[in-house]
């Protein structure tokens, strides 16, 4: 081998065509399920997902083996989607003001994933992935809330439980989908509840 050849960078092999097609199909399947859920089909069948994604039904199960794989992918996508909102600073000169800023931020996050929240609530009882993800998100939201409270309130167990409940994903889903309020009205109600609980 010449010295010139030895100095040339080793060419990296092109991604395998089959792998590229598999990744593309996987992405289309996840996007198809998200689209169907947002359109109101909270329990889309594998056939419906395959039709929307433009793949065969067998491809859905081959790529994900079962629905748990799809749920896991959707949660990852949605976490990425709402991350910029979650990272917004909480403005306010007082703990109460920052608490209300947190209400506004959560409203934006929950609204972004509203239909997926509704679908997850239906499927959660039979899905270890959804149960694990739900528990992790609840713990994260609770930790953010507790960190925001001043020491005098952070030790009030009943107050924390009440705030955790009224600012929860479940409350947002109820206000939007069961009580059929628009996002602005739902946000105003959560603010009112928080004011009544926290006294601010």
Q: Where do the domains of the chain lie, and which CATH numbers do they carry?
A: 16-65 (1.10.10), 84-198 (no CATH)
Distance CA(71)–CA(64), nearest Å, equals 10
Quick one: pLDDT at residue 4? 43
pTM of the model: 0.73
**27-35: which pairs have CB atoms within 8 A and are 24 or more residues apart?**
28/53, 28/54, 28/55, 29/53, 29/55, 29/59, 29/60, 29/63, 29/64, 29/70, 30/70, 30/73, 30/74, 30/77, 33/70, 33/74, 34/74, 34/77, 34/116
Phi, psi of 175 (to 5 degrees): -60, -40
User: Would you write out the chain's pLDDT as a tens digit for each of its 200 residues?
Assistant: 444 444 444 555 445 777 777 788 888 888 888 888 888 888 888 889 999 999 988 888 887 776 787 788 777 777 777 777 677 778 878 888 889 999 999 999 899 888 877 888 888 888 888 888 888 888 888 888 888 888 877 888 999 999 999 999 899 999 999 999 999 999 999 999 999 998 75
Give the alpha-carbon dihedral of 170, 173, 175, 176, to 10 degrees.
Answer: 170
């Amino acid at each position: 081998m010449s010295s010139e050849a030895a100095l040339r960078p080793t060419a990296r092999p092109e991604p395998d065509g089959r792998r590229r097609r598999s990744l593309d199909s996987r992405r289309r399947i996840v996007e198809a399920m998200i689209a169907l859920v947002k359109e109101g089909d909270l329990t889309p069948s594998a056939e419906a997902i395959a039709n929307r994604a433009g793949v065969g039904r067998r491809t859905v199960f081959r790529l994900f083996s079962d629905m748990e794989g799809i749920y896991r992918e959707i949660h990852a996508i949605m976490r990425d989607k709402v991350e910029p909102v979650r990272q917004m600073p909480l403005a306010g000169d007082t703990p109460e003001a920052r608490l209300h800023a947190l209400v506004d931020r959560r409203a934006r996050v929950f609204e972004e994933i509203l239909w997926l929240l509704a679908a997850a609530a239906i499927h959660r009882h039979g899905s270890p992935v959804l149960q694990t993800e739900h528990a992790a998100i609840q713990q994260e939201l609770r930790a953010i809330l507790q960190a925001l409270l001043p020491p005098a309130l952070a030790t009030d167990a009943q107050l924390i439980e009440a705030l955790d409940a009224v600012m929860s994903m479940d409350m947002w889903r109820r206000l939007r989908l069961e009580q059929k309020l628009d996002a602005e009205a739902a946000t105003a109600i959560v603010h009112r509840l928080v004011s009544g609980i926290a006294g601010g």
